Amino acid sequence: MRVDVVTIFPDYLAPLQLSLIGRAQRLGLLDLHVHDLRGWTEDRHRTVDDTPAGGGAGMVMLPEPWGRALDAVHRCEGPDGPVGPLPPAGDGAEPPLLLVPSPSGRPLDQSTAHALAAEPRLVVACGRYEGIDERVLVDAAQRYRVQPFSLGDYVLNGGEVAALALVEAVGRLLPGVVGNPDSLLEESHEQGLLEHPVYTRPPRWRDLDVPDVLLSGHHGQVARWRREQGLRRTARRRPDLLAALVARDPAALDAAD
């Protein structure tokens, strides 16, 4: 998968060189390109923002640099020309997805992460300040599938942290990135529920014991205990998830045993 991120703070994305996602890039499983939006400015001060039309607080990102950036990145070019292999897309292929981090986007969830992991190409446009001039997204819709997304109901200073979260959530689902793919199946949100608590050695620590059942060697009982713990935890912390699961599949909770 190819991912292009456009931002005025390319250094913000540096952690993607670490750990699993860094390794995925070195293995050629993820082709990540981070671009500095200011590379597409044309004035001496490399200006990317201006005051909001209609007045009010804060600044809005200018359409011109964004328009040039999204045109170039669509052709797999950075500010200085082509980067990486040419577009995987040919005739009949869907236009690339343009993901736009925004507190007013649709909240990202695990099923969306799976859908994104099946795409050949993602472009992420990180806004700052009060956001990007709306006409940029209207114009981009001519050659991208534009998808604003949010991390949750709180406000960040810009899209970079959301881009980090997105690339990590999607990147770890790409084939070969996580060593043991079975470990993906049991995680929180994969079955619409939260995961059960986990323990390791030693069996007693600061007067606290690992639950006996986990040391019993009885796989059936362990599986039942985990399912029940996951359910309890979901009911307590995220009753909304439980309600949504039962609404989708009224028999979802019957499967126990």
- Residue ranges that bind ligand 6GU, judged by CB under 6 A: 101-103, 105, 149-152, 154-156, 158-159, 162
When the beta carbons of 154 and 208 are compared against ligand 6GU, the nearer one is 154
Spatial neighbors of 115 by CB under 8 A, at least 6 apart, are none
Q: Please check if 152 is assigned to a binding site.
A: yes
Q: Please check if 210 is assigned to a binding site.
A: no
CB 250, min distance to ligand 6GU, A: 32
CB 210, min distance to ligand 6GU, A: 37
Nearest one of 106, 214, 203 to 162, comparing CA atoms:
106
Strand partners, 6: 35, 125
When the beta carbons of 79 and 159 are compared against ligand 6GU, the nearer one is 159
Q: Please check if 131 is assigned to a binding site.
A: no
Q: Is 177 exposed, middle or buried (0-12, 13-18, 19+ CB in 10 A)?
A: buried
When the beta carbons of 41 and 150 are compared against ligand 6GU, the nearer one is 150
Q: Please check if 151 is assigned to a binding site.
A: yes
When the beta carbons of 66 and 149 are compared against ligand 6GU, the nearer one is 149
CB 102, min distance to ligand 6GU, A: 5
CB 9, min distance to ligand 6GU, A: 13
When the beta carbons of 56 and 154 are compared against ligand 6GU, the nearer one is 154
Q: Please check if 127 is assigned to a binding site.
A: yes
CB 213, min distance to ligand 6GU, A: 39
CB 8, min distance to ligand 6GU, A: 13
When the beta carbons of 107 and 181 are compared against ligand 6GU, the nearer one is 107
Compute how many other C-beta atoms are within 10 angstroms of the C-beta atom of residue 211.
13
The binding site for S-adenosyl-L-methionine comprises: 127, 151-156
The binding site comprises: 127, 151-156
